[in-house]
Structure 1
């Protein structure tokens, strides 16, 4: 298997590396991420895996992961992977949502992890009721849509739901994390959500979840590699500034 980057991929990686290196020097606080997000939108990186016929860059998951790695390397906490990679896959057949993702207007957070007690759904006239809670959802405080996985009451049939963060069915509790990004716990109230909140159910949900979990693994791993590179560079710089530390 050939892992050599194409010329376009190399240019994409280098432009992202230069941008994030510069942004890291200028911004060190949470409030500065808004500028980074606006720049990412302007440069078109949120459309990196959206097909060209739908107005995107037409890249592959590799292109998205190259950007995710450089974002981790720059240590700038914005929901790039959730929007550009997972969002594009979730709404692959919805041009309107893809356009809003590319413009940075739709910023989804994902709760797909398998906890001891998974979320469940019950069918109701005109919609569904979701039951259960999730203790950790990354970036949920900075996003405006939640994508969750749930099962029927006997836990045989999966479904994927998309809800506005302002939905009355949701109770959110945000809290800080050591990396400064923050997270949110969520619990569902007994409110009926509309049929249009169900993005996939049954076999279609199985396929969507499998694709999302694979893309999530790749994107988050790429971001983690970049973050490790950031930590190595930071450690080397500290040792250079304080040579005595390296002698012990």
Structure 2
């Protein structure tokens, strides 16, 4: 039996999420979510809270569930399978888990109860224009003004940023010092511009033009703060991989159903042995992607101390593999369907768009392979002749 086989609790979580999506998240709901300016239906977000999903990344000490990343990835896979549009990974994994890492008890008491009930949503503005998903490349600046800070700069592709109640972001303080700051979304001189990705998911660009009242969550050397940022992004990257695996599974199942029912010359297309071989190859690739994603989540859950090499290595390896697998799955699905696979009216087209976007979000395969190579050179292999 695989080391990463689901336990009983994870099986129940997966089953309940799948049933909820099948029952309450159909095409009409998905289209309404796409059309919503925030890319998130408030009533659905409340339902996520009632199901306990938003409490999963929040520690038990803060009235959350304190779930592992492995558990969260089980849910993320089902959300991907159901093509759920609400920004669960962006808000619950990327932003909330980073907030838990660095917030003071007073700020935790102020924000986390709302996060758990769905009345507050956080977003982490991790990237700047032209940086290509490098969380440590920061040009935004922060200047202290009394007990708070004034912020200047821009952030782009903020996942879950449309409709967020507060933003976490990094800015340079002085010299080689950096900080993580919390800014309310309604702050004067903060401009939030929502926009859509290729697949319809909402992100936001934000401009900080002397925004006053920013609260410092942590300040220190650039190296110290970047370590916190990379850990947050790695967790979200692995959860994103799990979600992408779910999308691949759905695309595969849709394609298999089509091949069984579509006939040419009096027989099902799927009866062709060459077609069967191609489908088997896809199935194996998806299972490999799932196994690597679960292994990465396990490594992150077991991370201990300052040695982050294993976490960075597994996160990069998982995303590099999943990015290439996502591309292969959508290309094969379209080829096996023919032209209908690219149409907006047919369900596969939505999975194709999500997979195309997923292959580059949080960094594409090439970037992740470069990062993987760096971790190998930094690790034990660097001492080998």
Q: What TM-score comes out, normalization by structure 1 length?
A: 0.85
Q: For the structure 1 residues 240 and 151, does the alpha-carbon distance in structure 2 shift closer, same or farther, using more than 3 Å as the test?
A: farther
1:198 aligns with 2:216: yes
Q: Deviations over 1:84-134 (max 9, x none)?
A: 323044135524422211111221122213654723223232232222212
Alignment of 1:93-242 (within 5 A): 93=105, 94-113=108-127, 115-116=130-131, 118-126=138-146, 127-154=148-175, 156-194=176-214, 197-202=215-220, 205-240=225-260, 242=262
Q: Deviations over 1:15-47 (max 9, x none)?
A: 112212323336231258333222111111111
Answer whether contact 1:121 1:128 (CA < 8 A) is retained: no
Tell me, what secondary structure is at the counterpart of 1:119?
A: coil
2:72 to 60, 64, 75: 64
Which deviates the most, 166-175 or 201-210? 201-210
Answer whether contact 2:143 2:151 (CA < 8 A) is retained: no
Answer whether contact 2:90 2:159 (CA < 8 A) is retained: no
Which deviates the most, 30-39 or 135-144? 30-39
Q: Distance in 2 between matches of 1:89 and 1:124?
A: 22
Q: What TM-score comes out, normalization by structure 2 length?
A: 0.57
Tell me, what secondary structure is at the counterpart of 1:150?
A: strand
Which deviates the most, 165-174 or 84-93? 84-93
Structure 1 unaligned spans of 5+? none
The Cα shift of 1:158 comes to: 2.2
The Cα shift of 1:10 comes to: 1.2
What number of residue pairs does the alignment pair up?
A: 245
The Cα shift of 1:72 comes to: 1.3
**Which residue does the alignment assign to 1:80?**
88
Q: For the structure 1 residues 146 and 243, does the alpha-carbon distance in structure 2 shift closer, same or farther, using more than 3 Å as the test?
A: farther
Q: For the structure 1 residues 118 and 247, does the alpha-carbon distance in structure 2 shift closer, same or farther, using more than 3 Å as the test?
A: closer
Q: Distance in 2 between matches of 1:218 and 1:205?
A: 20
Q: Distance in 1 between matches of 2:208 and 2:164?
A: 18
Which deviates the most, 76-85 or 3-12? 76-85
Answer whether contact 2:140 2:152 (CA < 8 A) is retained: yes
Tell me, what secondary structure is at the counterpart of 1:62?
A: helix
Answer whether contact 1:83 1:106 (CA < 8 A) is retained: no
The Cα shift of 1:242 comes to: 4.0
Q: Deviations over 1:56-76 (max 9, x none)?
A: 223211111111121111111
Structure 2 unaligned spans of 5+? 132-136, 270-335, 339-385
Q: Distance in 2 between matches of 1:83 and 1:247?
A: 35
Answer whether contact 2:30 2:85 (CA < 8 A) is retained: no
Q: Deviations over 1:107-164 (max 9, x none)?
A: 112221365472322323223222221232122113222211222354x222111212
**Which residue does the alignment assign to 2:14?**
13
Answer whether contact 1:33 1:76 (CA < 8 A) is retained: no
